[in-house]
């Protein structure tokens, strides 16, 4: 992490909220659903599709889940009404996963079923290691209830990830859909890689494993070494833009997906790279967070992973390196 990144972290407790908002404006669509819709309409012109996240996570009372149920319901209606090429991402802890698993299951099923009616895919975001297994369990439970429009995220840095890939592929029989990322949470050294190159290598290995197990592979990264590895891994398997997924055992992906894979990037990060991938014909998806809890989201992300502070500092002093 750079010196400016460390300075930002140390100044956070006394940083005016308006400054945090100024920084967040680049990475958060806005406070309201209408803001997210407008952002998506604009970026749609760049041949991008979307996954939308209502900001907020880990509720302390199960009643707080009602807010997310209502907001995601409205979000699904807005996606359908505006004919947006978008799916939704939700955090299981916002639906009560750490409070009552059974109630969380009911809450998530409610949203997933409504999304299925609108032909919308649901991505369960992966949070820290406390809920890795229970999040995977929720995905399996949804599929057992006929909701095959549900997938999750796996973090390359975790030692268990390749095993989880095999488990999901075997359990979901041709409709496994996984977003793979390095992972933002600084997990304990006994369960996760900590060094940059180790994390990159592990993430690349997980991408290979996903492609080998015929899972739909959503590659969520801004790292050029991972992007280059992924492009090569896709090509050597005879996959690519305009080519029907040649792997055995896969079903028709549908739900606005690509030919067995896609690239995903956060709103406001490496837009030039995303546009270049789209120009080459690869399906690209933008992660669009919005909501009234933008401040908590921004602060939490900075505290969870100090490297984010460096990326913010870099984009402020060298904006040409990180076009939106």
191-241 pLDDT, tens digit each:
999 999 999 999 999 999 999 998 999 999 999 999 999 999 999 999 999
Residues 6+ apart with CB under 8 A from 198: none
pLDDT band at residue 110 using 50, 70 and 90 as cut-offs:
very high
Percentage with pLDDT > 70 across the chain: 82
pLDDT at residue number 239: 96
pLDDT at residue number 292: 85
The predicted model scores a pTM of 0.88
pLDDT at residue number 152: 98
The architecture that CATH gives domain 32-290 is Alpha-Beta Barrel (3.20)
Hey, what's the torsion of the CAs at 88, 94, 96, 101, to 10 degrees?
A: 40
154: β partners: 180
CA 295, CA 302: separation in Å to the nearest integer? Answer: 11
Tokens representing 119?
């032909």
Q: Is the pLDDT of residue 300 over 90?
A: no
Q: Is the pLDDT of residue 94 over 70?
A: yes
The answer to whether 205 and 171 are in contact (CB under 8 A) is no
Q: What are the residue ranges spanned by the domains of the chain? A: 1-28+295-324, 32-290
* Strand, coil or helix: 299: helix
* Strand, coil or helix: 125: coil
């Amino acid at each position: 992490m750079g010196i400016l990144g460390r300075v930002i972290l140390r100044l956070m407790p006394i940083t005016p909220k308006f400054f945090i908002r100024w920084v967040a404006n680049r990475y958060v669509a806005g406070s309201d659903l209408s803001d997210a819709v407008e952002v998506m309409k604009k970026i749609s012109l760049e041949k991008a599709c979307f996954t939308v996240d209502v900001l907020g996570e880990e509720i302390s009372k199960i009643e707080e889940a009602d807010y997310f149920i209502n907001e995601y319901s409205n979000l699904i209606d807005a996606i359908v009404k505006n004919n947006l090429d978008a799916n939704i991402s939700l955090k299981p802890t916002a639906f009560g996963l750490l409070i009552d698993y059974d109630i969380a299951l009911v809450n998530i099923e409610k949203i997933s079923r409504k999304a299925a009616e609108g032909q919308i895919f649901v991505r369960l975001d992966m949070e820290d290691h406390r809920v890795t297994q229970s999040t995977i369990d929720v995905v399996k439970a949804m599929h057992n209830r006929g909701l095959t429009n549900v997938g999750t995220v796996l973090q390359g840095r975790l030692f268990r990830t390749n095993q989880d890939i095999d488990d999901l592929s075997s359990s979901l029989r041709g409709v496994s859909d996984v977003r793979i990322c390095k992972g933002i949470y600084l997990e304990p050294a006994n369960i996760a890689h900590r060094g940059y190159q180790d994390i990159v290598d592990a993430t690349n290995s997980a991408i290979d494993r996903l492609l080998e197990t015929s899972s739909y592979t959503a590659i969520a990264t801004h790292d050029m070494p991972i992007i280059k590895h992924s492009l090569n891994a896709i090509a050597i398997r005879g996959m690519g833009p305009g080519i029907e997924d040649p792997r055995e055992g896969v079903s028709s992906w549908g739900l606005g997906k690509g030919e067995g894979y896609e690239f995903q990037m956060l709103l406001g990060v490496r837009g030039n790279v995303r546009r270049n991938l789209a120009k080459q014909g690869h399906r690209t998806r933008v992660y669009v967070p919005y909501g009234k809890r933008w401040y908590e989201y921004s602060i939490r992300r900075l505290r969870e992973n100090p490297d984010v502070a460096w990326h913010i500092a870099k984009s402020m002093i060298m904006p040409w390196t990180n076009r939106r």
